[in-house]
Amino acid sequence: MATKLPKVPVVVVGMGWAGGIISAELTKAGIPVVGIERGKERKTEDYLMGHDELRFQHRTELMQDLSKETITHRNTLNMRALPMRNYGTFIVGDGLGGAGSHWNGQTYRFLPYDFEIKTLTEQKYGPNKIAPEYTIQDWGITYDEMEPYYDTFEKMAGISGETVELYGKRANPYPTGPMLKTPVLEVFEKATTSLGYKPYMVPSANLSEAYTNPDGISRAACQYCAYCENFGCEYGAKADPVVTVIPVAKETGKLETRTHSNVLRLTKDGNRATGVIYVNTITGEEFEQPADVVVVASYVFNNARLLLNSGIGTPYNPETGKGTIGKNYAYQVSSGFTTAFFKDREFNLYAGAGALGIEIPEFTGDNFDHSDLNFIHGSGIRMFQYGARPIANNVVPSGTPSWGAEFKSESIRWANSFLKIASQGSSMPHKNNYLDLDPEFKDAYGMPLLRMTYDYTDQDRELVKYMAGVTSKIAEEMGADIIDTVSEQAPFNVNKDTNTHNTGGVIMGADPATSAVNSYLQMWEAENVFVVGASAFPHNSNFNPTGTLGALSYRAAEGIQTYLKQGGLLV
Amino acid sequence: MSEKEKNSPILDKRSSRRTFIKNSGLTVGGVVLGGALGSLLVNKDKTATPEAPAHTETGAAANPNVALMFFTPDEYRMTQTAVERIYPADDNGPGAKDLNAAIYIDHQLAGQYGLNSKDYRLGNFYAPEPTQGAQTKILNKDLFLLGLKELNNYSKQNFEANFVELEAADQDTALAAFSEGKAQFAGTSSSEFFNLLRKLTIEGVYADPLYGGNKDMQGWAMRKYPGSRMSYVKEIQSETFVKLDPQGLNSHMGH
């Protein structure tokens, strides 16, 4: 029996970027917030031993403990879904800061095209450009409406970058200048410029210079130490909720965080949520926390799972296309890429940063003509200098064995002499790609796991093939000695490394029949529930999702404040 | 020393059985202990003539971390032989054996990784489609030991000797069969064992030396990796390659 606690105005489930931003904005406005987090407390001092590739990257120290909870996956509706028993394709965050502690920090805005994708695609290419199975829809908000929220997020995080002409208009320049354009990135810059493209430095949350944000939080500049993705930043240079929004919320005295507390479900009364039930993961004690407003701000997977396990909202049905919870789960495609090997050049590849990169804008979104192409949207063609850590990076020309004498000598030979020209492609929703509850597998607390039904589509395969060709041409222009291009998108594999840019499942829109939340991320079917995160994206763009997630979190925080004053649906 | 050992290009003097026992410290005052150790010497390899081991060299015990907490001495020796085939000594520098990758593996399998303590272990274990990841109930520590056993079985069936006694080329043939899932294996594919062996070997060569492998940071030195440093602001702007001596995490202690 759960111990019932005194009611609070707002309870937030998950203390990553979404939960951290909501907590900071509400507490600054004087509203008390209880933040519930399944993982542990974190601070920058914890990362003194942070440059440990084995512990943090390969033993996934900062990630969700899969022994407690995972997802199940199947490629098609007629397969039996099986649990992801260990990490492979995506790494889900855990603890204070969530995935905002271990991310790389690549912080883009989505394009004006993204927010009105259905309307704009039909306007330009007619109604039959994309088959009806691809359930693209407008987001119920425009880029111009999103712009101020992007601006707020970028100023809070201190994003370092430069304005790109082809992208949506900015009210202000980036708060800090771009990251260092290193000799490695200059190789890409030179080749793409001579091909007629306009490369730009990727917007970065790694801080190119010391910065004080509007909340008065000061952070030091990036040291290019090469330990970003999978790692916490011991300098606080990488924007992380733990060094930005969470301390601001705590400073108000109005945020109470409860760590090691895993929310099992929301409680409800009719079409309103009344609070949450959570378990202390160390002691096993259960608690009920009643609240006026419940903010579901965990990762994409648990946002959908909590609603489904609580019977809140109508589950999506792929047979009828009706229902919304679990709908339009999307991902990204990055299988089109080229590895370029240079016989006589050694680069300082051991150095780097998670968002130290350069990219061309010409193949993103609808910034190129798709009239004769079998896909819509596009890819960022890009090159990063992450820091080539040695367990993860043993890059050899194709045809080299994966072990033995030749593997060893080749992996050492090229260790500092390869560059990867990557493409990160958008992901269009498909009616058969969705999230629901697994009928068999449960988590450590007895709650059903989330089941993902997902595979890449024809649209994805066409896009990957096309983009691979672009990366190959760039490698040729670079004058690489060996050029290896991958251009086939294999079936989705839960253990193959791709990225952690999962989106959808609780999508936003203007119509309650086709979306779960409105443009304030308020649930149509439960007005005191706000579901915040990339779960709200009706499709996934070719850009990293955090910038858009952050912007939407600021908008949701505004909506929650309005709701607390006047109640009712905000749209 | 057997003829096979003499002819094997990879089993040089340092890896002979005698030196193994000597370095493993299984002697007391130069006298081989009886009981289990006696049978280890005599019974496991009938072609080898036991020789009176010399005194333990002072260097052998210099690093107290080089000791076993999981493997038996036989399993350890076999692991040393296998990792050396994955990542052999060459002109670049030492192989996985001399980098103490087998010590690394011993320590990993003794701890939470050996027990898959962060893996999802609940529910039924169904045979997966190729896209669904491994679905084996076998723990990492057991998978590794099963793998060593099956590697010996394969070696005996195909080459009429234990794995460690084979020519390097035959050892490679055996490992290749495992990597391709072609060797007999109970409960899962032989490739699962091979993948674990390969993964742990690479980790044992390149993980921070605090874990027991990457001896003297030589794994890092071979590929000019500087290990764990706090800042590369200067180096990252250099047009030419800047070679730095490797540093381990212990360099951050006391900060």
Residue A551 corresponds to which tokens in the numbers above? Answer: 């912007």
DSSP structural state of residue B216: G
Total Cβ atoms within 10 A of residue A385: 27
Task: Mark which residues 214-243 of B lie under 8 Å from A by CB.
Answer: 219-220, 222-233, 235-242
B215 in Cβ contact with B93 (< 8 Å): no
**A546 burial via Cβ count (<10 Å: 0-12, 13-18, 19+):** buried
* Smallest CA–CA distance from A497 into chain B, residue: B133
B177 in Cβ contact with B144 (< 8 Å): no
Give the closest of B132, B211, B235 to A73, CB-based.
Answer: B132
A402 in Cβ contact with B194 (< 8 Å): no
From first to last of its 571 residues, chain A has per-residue pLDDT tens of 899 999 999 999 999 999 999 999 999 999 999 999 999 999 999 999 999 999 999 999 999 999 999 999 999 999 999 999 999 889 999 999 999 999 999 999 999 999 999 999 999 999 999 999 999 999 999 999 999 999 999 999 999 999 999 999 999 999 999 999 999 999 999 999 999 999 999 999 999 999 999 999 999 999 999 999 999 999 999 999 999 999 999 999 999 999 999 999 999 999 999 999 999 999 999 999 999 999 999 999 999 999 999 999 999 999 999 999 999 999 999 999 999 999 999 999 999 999 999 999 999 999 999 999 999 999 999 999 999 999 999 999 999 999 999 999 999 999 999 999 999 999 999 999 999 999 999 999 999 999 999 999 999 999 999 999 999 999 999 999 999 999 999 999 998 878 999 999 999 999 999 999 999 999 999 999 999 999 999 999 999 999 999 999 999 999 999 999 999 999 9
Average of per-residue pLDDT across B59-85: 91
- For chain A, the domains span 3-566
pLDDT tens digits, one per residue of A498-539 = 899 999 999 999 999 999 999 999 999 999 999 999 999 999
* Smallest CA–CA distance from B211 into chain A, residue: A54
pLDDT tens digits, one per residue of A218-247 = 999 999 999 999 999 999 999 999 999 999
Indicate yes or no: CB of A83 within 8 angstroms of CB of B231: no
A136 in Cβ contact with A428 (< 8 Å): yes
| Catalytic machinery residues of A | 501
Residues of B in contact with A53 (CB under 8 A): 206-208
* Smallest CA–CA distance from A182 into chain B, residue: B237
User: How high is the pLDDT of residue A1?
Assistant: 81
Does residue B252 belong to the interface with chain A, where contact is any CB pair within 8 Å?
yes
Indicate yes or no: CB of B123 within 8 angstroms of CB of A491: no
DSSP structural state of residue A58: I
* Smallest CA–CA distance from A491 into chain B, residue: B131
* DSSP conformation letters of A239-267: --GGGTHHHHHHHTT-EEEE-SEEEEEEE
A3-566 maps to which CATH number?
3.50.50.60
User: How high is the pLDDT of residue B255?
Assistant: 61
- For chain B, the domains span 1-62, 65-223, 224-255
Confidence of residue B3 (pLDDT cuts 50, 70, 90): very low
Sign of CA dihedral B26, B30, B34, B38: positive
How many whole angstroms separate alpha carbon A54 and alpha carbon A57?
A: 6
pLDDT tens digits, one per residue of B38-48 = 444 434 444 44
pLDDT tens digits, one per residue of A73-114 = 999 999 999 999 999 889 999 999 999 999 999 999 999 999
Nearest CA-CA distance, residue A385 and chain B, Å: 10
Indicate yes or no: CB of B226 within 8 angstroms of CB of A350: yes
B65 in Cβ contact with B248 (< 8 Å): no
Give the closest of B126, B203, B252 to A54, CB-based.
Answer: B203
What is this model's ipTM? Answer: 0.96
Residues of B in contact with A83 (CB under 8 A): 120, 122-123, 135
Residues of B in contact with A440 (CB under 8 A): 123-124
Residues of A in contact with B113 (CB under 8 A): 59
Residues of B in contact with A237 (CB under 8 A): none
Cα within 13 Å of Cα(A76), Cβ side: 5
pLDDT tens digits, one per residue of B199-241 = 999 999 999 999 999 999 999 999 999 999 999 999 999 999 9
Give the closest of A67, A88, A182 to B118, CB-based.
Answer: A67
Give the closest of A75, A80, A225 to B229, CB-based.
Answer: A225
Mean predicted lDDT score pLDDT of chain B? 83
